[in-house]
Amino acid sequence: MTSTDGDDTQRVVAQGTFDILHPGHVHYLQEAAELGELHVIVARRENVTHKPKPIVPDEQRRRLVASLDPVDEAHLGDREDIFVPIERIQPNVIVLGHDQDHDEDAIADALAERGIDCEVMRASALEGNEALYSTGDIIDRICDERC
């Protein structure tokens, strides 16, 4: 696949809340970046409905994600329409996190309805025994040990 602006760079979108950055996030973003120029869409607090709202403010989370080596650009999500940044970026690939609660087919259908032709795929899980790979696990551990 090639991008729409005439060069051969493939644009890749990853997205998430990124409330507390952890090794699972880094793995996800590194894997997505292997596919091309990585644009990350950071969910706005008011749009997070499937889990507890993030603690860290939107712009602070965006800046943290932007500072990671695999990330070429980090964007805040649109307040009203989650597809607005995707329409602006025009990715060739959208990579979902391995544990994100998104239906790949439903996303592909919504993209097609908007005339966005891109592949939707899922990143692999990061395996390991001792590391904390989810924000919820990190918060639980903090509460267990410090609350």
17 labelled as ligand-binding?
yes
- Smallest CA-to-CA distance from 37 within 82, 4, 80 is with 4
On whether 23 is known to bind a ligand per the annotation, the reply is: yes
> Distance (Å, rounded) from C-alpha 126 to C-alpha 98?
9
Length of the chain: 147
* Residue 24 marked as a ligand binder: yes
Own/partner contacts of 129-133, CB < 8 Å, gap of 24 or more, are 131/22, 131/23, 132/22, 132/23, 133/22, 133/23, 133/24
CA–CA dist 62, 19 (Å, integer) = 10
Supply 62's token pair: 């965006």
Q: Is 97 annotated as a binding residue?
A: no
Q: Binding residue per annotation — 99? A: yes
* Residues placed in the known binding site: 17-18, 22-25, 99
* Residues placed in the known binding site for ATP: 17-18, 22-25, 99
